[in-house]
Structure 1
């Protein structure tokens, strides 16, 4: 013990320890940023899949689908296919790591049940609203859905009576100012026809994910992250496919069962959904890993950069790669996405403390 104390007290050992800490923290920031990029890729690949093969026919005028089915059923089905693919990835990777047996055991616990409730809010409800927003308003919905940290902070104050200091309130105001900047794109000639409907669904998605973030914090603190994510993705995929899709099919007068079978069997699009599900799984995994390495606050701020990465990859994959029109955002929306990142960062991290820690590490 004395030798260890002497070693850690040695200036060279202290310098090496601080250098190692900075590298570990820097890698954690990189992982958290990659989680936001993965979420952006998930958004791009899912949107691409919903524009190919059988989906292209369903969105066509000759599909015979009602307006309700075209708007709600197809969005719910797109979210369901993506979440089910993500759940398969989660199960396979949990099995490879020898953690699959922990899933049913954890599911029976109180934190597991809390994770299930959170998954239902963030999956069938929020994810479907997110897809509805993407299909109606385009990529401007992505930065708007990134309001979830701001909404989560407000809900934490209301539900859990967590304090909101001046810094957090300033960050919330910045985020909502960015959302108004995005809404102002409707005043330009570049706006989609259903822009405001899509933005409304984007706000609902942010609300759902904000609620999920509040509820899920307790569950993920007591369950292995990989096990918790597997529970989350299975619950989200199956509840969406079994509950929401048939409900919307019944209301819209469409054959939801045959449409679901056709979606999973469509060779033109299913590969992109599988890829989207893979990116969705890793968006969560890298988020949790980054939070553990660099701290939850800084990890959330870095992950929140998906408000920029989402529109960027949608433009890159669909606009540049596939030549689809209308996949770029107006300049003010690009600016708003960067403003949103700044607001999320301010909510999550005190910049003064961050720079002070960097200074201490040196």
Structure 2
């Protein structure tokens, strides 16, 4: 009888370990998918800002707009349109899942307020800086923005006294060296005009997203991740539309009426909105996959998997805009691809000991034997 019980117990333990292993692998797959979707979001957003009325604004005649308006006001508007589309997808999903009531209830809570704060940092500041940097320097800025996990680790140590061991410091150094490799392409006579400034602005996006990650960590630990995403995207879209774009309009364009006219034209430009809607969907799915993947494989490993957008971003932009769209300037020098892959490894080192992946694999094989 004891032998039978022992056999059943061993089988149950083996089944549990197999289930846990499959759960981890699924989480890693979902988190990796989030990085891929972020790459497509970047490509479709950029494509949308070349179509319809955007083609006139960024065209040879620039529709009478000044260089400052083209760079900053249109950058903020592009971010606002994309985040608004993403928020609409998030609300549709929450409604479909029967969680719209929870969304409105969570907004009034302290964790909900934390998520709103995180969205205000990552939306008007980082998202706009990201779009402006993309327009100025192209997809080369994407690996720079992927520094956000390294920045988040540093800010976590400063703000919340979180542990920062030697392995994490090594990962941060790898990421910083990678960013210098990428930045080196903006120095020299053959570097496109505005590339250096675009890379500097990309650092602002990375800083904001790193800070957002620290702040949002608290909120997502107490709120359903799907509700947290909806709060984040809705806040980001609205704050961009009703705060940042009007402020930029007053500073650079002559008034709120000016920015309002641009906003109406942007949302009524059918050829562009198709791509913005698609970009917003990819952004929503990316965040959704990132949060779900984190809950399944852990925040550290999920962060490392999501950091693969440092590779997928330039790759998707090259495919969608360069190869399929026939646009020039989206091919990247070999050093950027090498640096992007190196930065992915640096992010992995920050998140975990890479050797643990092999140890887990070996342990699973031994258990199976």
Do Structure 1 and Structure 2 share a fold, with TM-score over 0.5?
yes
Q: In the alignment, does 2:304 pair up with 1:301?
A: yes
The CA distance in 2 between the partners of 1:278 and 1:4, in whole Å, is 53
How far off is 1:186 after superposition? 1.8
Structure 1 residues 190 and 321: alpha-carbon distance in aligned structure 2, compared to 1, 3 A threshold: farther
The CA distance in 2 between the partners of 1:196 and 1:7, in whole Å, is 65
The CA distance in 1 between the partners of 2:344 and 2:331, in whole Å, is 19
How far off is 1:24 after superposition? 1.9
Q: Which residue of 2 aligns with 1:132?
A: 132
Q: Secondary structure at the match of 1:60?
A: coil
Q: Secondary structure at the match of 2:162?
A: coil
The CA distance in 2 between the partners of 1:354 and 1:273, in whole Å, is 38
The CA distance in 1 between the partners of 2:235 and 2:5, in whole Å, is 49
The CA distance in 2 between the partners of 1:4 and 1:88, in whole Å, is 56
Deviation track 1:72-113 (CA, whole Å, cap 9, x = no partner) reads: 000000000000000000000000000000011101111100
Q: Which residue of 2 aligns with 1:260?
A: 263
Name whichever of 266-275 and 59-68 sits farther off: 59-68
Deviation track 1:282-303 (CA, whole Å, cap 9, x = no partner) reads: 1110001111111211111111
The CA distance in 1 between the partners of 2:4 and 2:274, in whole Å, is 54
The CA distance in 1 between the partners of 2:126 and 2:8, in whole Å, is 49
The CA distance in 2 between the partners of 1:161 and 1:15, in whole Å, is 39
How far off is 1:212 after superposition? 0.1
The CA distance in 2 between the partners of 1:27 and 1:136, in whole Å, is 37
- List alignment gaps of at least 5 residues for structure 1: none
The question of whether the paired residues in 1 share the 8 Å contact of 2:187 and 2:196 is answered with no
The CA distance in 2 between the partners of 1:349 and 1:5, in whole Å, is 38
Correspondence list, 1:301-320, <5 A: 301-320=304-323
- List alignment gaps of at least 5 residues for structure 2: none
Q: In the alignment, does 2:184 pair up with 1:184?
A: yes
Q: In the alignment, does 2:242 pair up with 1:242?
A: yes
Structure 1 residues 3 and 210: alpha-carbon distance in aligned structure 2, compared to 1, 3 A threshold: farther
Q: Secondary structure at the match of 1:184?
A: helix
The CA distance in 2 between the partners of 1:79 and 1:17, in whole Å, is 45
Q: Which residue of 2 aligns with 1:287?
A: 290
Deviation track 1:201-220 (CA, whole Å, cap 9, x = no partner) reads: 10000000000000000000
Correspondence list, 1:91-130, <5 A: 91-130=91-130
Q: Which residue of 2 aligns with 1:59?
A: 58
- After superposition, the CA RMSD in angstroms is 1.7
Structure 1 residues 191 and 3: alpha-carbon distance in aligned structure 2, compared to 1, 3 A threshold: farther
The CA distance in 2 between the partners of 1:49 and 1:5, in whole Å, is 63
How far off is 1:8 after superposition? 5.7
The CA distance in 2 between the partners of 1:186 and 1:302, in whole Å, is 28
Q: Secondary structure at the match of 2:221?
A: helix
Name whichever of 309-318 and 179-188 sits farther off: 179-188
Name whichever of 285-294 and 13-22 sits farther off: 13-22
Q: Secondary structure at the match of 1:81?
A: helix
Correspondence list, 1:5-20, <5 A: 6=6, 9-10=9-10, 12-20=11-19
Correspondence list, 1:1-362, <5 A: 6=6, 9-10=9-10, 12-62=11-61, 63-187=63-187, 191-253=191-253, 255-362=258-365
